[in-house]
Structure 1
Amino acid sequence: MKFGVAVYPGSNCDYDTYRVIRDILKEDVRLIDYRETDLSDLDCVVLPGGFSFGDYLRPGTLAAHTPLTGAVKEFADKGGFVIGICNGFQILTEAHLLPGALMPNIHGKFVCKHQYLRVENSDTPFTNQCEDGQVLKIPIAHHDGNYFVDEETLRKMEDNGQIILRYCDEFGNITEDANPNGSIRNIAGITNEKKNVFGLMPHPERAAESILGTEDGLYILKSIIEAYS
């Protein structure tokens, strides 16, 4: 399987993601410049975390209008796997590859900590190594992770199984106290209708080695490989 990791001006998790794919997952991977348009050699594109273009206007807005993101849209339309992590999730919503928007955290503060997540749908290319209801511990680090979508769209997403991860406590309870940013219904990760595009605020690449306190991010990353094979 061949991965590509996007590099926008201001990306700061690109090399972390690249290293995990190359050295831990042992998969073929290359970095993709934001001016590139040919993704024909790739099976999965990762839009990593960071502050693309300095988060000017809104996080992800300028990156959404680059040649690379245009190519990612075509790649996704053809069924290619796309995963957007943190700022990558913001880019996917700004590019309308995923519904909704990421707004500033309800408390107005940057939040950086380990976070519990409940798997809501294990029948996707990104969670097939999980079980429904499984609790993962994966770090978050964001200022604009407050996911919002209108009620009609949210109902359709719920019915279609597009809500993939929710913020929870260590026992899997979905509570207001367990919500770190004010996201509607504790949503932490979603897919598109076809379920080949996945956006999440937590950082699975920061949860891929025991020395970091958790390897739960590997459930997500290994799911992609399993889905491809």
Structure 2
Amino acid sequence: MSELASEPLTSARIGVITFPGTLDDADAARAVRYAGAEPVALWHGDADLRGVDAVVVPGGFSYGDYLRAGAIARFAPVMTSVIEAARGGLPVLGICNGFQILCEAGLLPGALLRNGGLHFVCRDQPLRVERTSTAWTTAFADGATVVIPVKNMDGRFTAARSTVDELEAEGRVVFRYTGSNPNGSLNDIAGISSADGRIVGLMPHPEHAIDPLTGPSADGLGLFRSVLGAVVSA
């Protein structure tokens, strides 16, 4: 797909949050438009979610990553509303810094620590789709391999061994790095979900893989298309 839809193809409205230091909000909004929904800009200092059907917490360096990545953003007024709405079933996707924020907010378990090699990693990364029953992955085939860019400094997923075992046992590992692990994440985990599958966080950037003209593939578009089915059927 190389052209943006001039009008939304569905009535779905997907919020995209902007914090000070966010870098990828425009890309996430573009991905929402590509998928056929209406992107809705949400500001970190405003608690009003504007009646959206889902929320994307995009990548970047919210609040300059002071204290640690995502630690301050978790307390933003908009996140107070996102936390409440997510616990009520609102689909939420956290990408890179957004994943860090969701972990800080307690919506997903674990934490994202400094990469194992202590270097910023930026490359096209193959992933295996491990779960297709979440609100954000129904467009994929089980076990499919997708190529999505990864770019992070604090992308190493870690958690207590009991938590990792629980995620594995419950099928809540959504994406797994294949080939080489870019950051040392436990069990090669690239993305996880909440127990109900409505909340997903991943370190790679699907919004940068929506068109082969500008990315390594259009594989990332599947996440944004998947949630349309989830909100239409809700």
Q: Same fold (TM over 0.5)?
A: yes
**Partner secondary structure for residue 210 of structure 1:** coil
**Partner secondary structure for residue 26 of structure 2:** helix
Match of 2:123 in 1: 113
**Partner secondary structure for residue 162 of structure 2:** helix
Q: Does 1:19 align with 2:19?
A: no
Q: Please, which moves more after superposition, 31-40 or 57-66?
A: 31-40
Match of 2:189 in 1: 187
The superposition leaves residues 129-175 of structure 1 with CA deviations (integer Å, 9 ceiling, x where unpaired) of 11111100000010000000111111221121110000002xxxxxx
Match of 2:231 in 1: 228
Runs of 4+ aligned structure 1 residues displaced above 6 Å come to none
Between the aligned partners of 2:19 and 2:90, the Cα distance in structure 1 is: 20
2:154 to 144, 147, 159: 144
**Partner secondary structure for residue 78 of structure 2:** helix
Between the aligned partners of 2:162 and 2:32, the Cα distance in structure 1 is: 37
Q: Does 1:83 align with 2:93?
A: yes
Report the aligned-residue RMSD. Answer: 1.0
Between the aligned partners of 1:162 and 1:44, the Cα distance in structure 2 is: 20
Between the aligned partners of 1:11 and 1:58, the Cα distance in structure 2 is: 15
Aligned residue-pair number: 220
The superposition leaves residues 184-206 of structure 1 with CA deviations (integer Å, 9 ceiling, x where unpaired) of 00000001112111100010100
Between the aligned partners of 1:141 and 1:96, the Cα distance in structure 2 is: 23
Between the aligned partners of 1:110 and 1:127, the Cα distance in structure 2 is: 27
**Partner secondary structure for residue 41 of structure 1:** coil
Q: Does 1:8 align with 2:19?
A: yes
Identity level (%): 42
1:26 Cα offset (Å):
2.7
Q: Does 1:38 align with 2:40?
A: no
Give structure 1 stretches of 5+ with no counterpart: 170-177
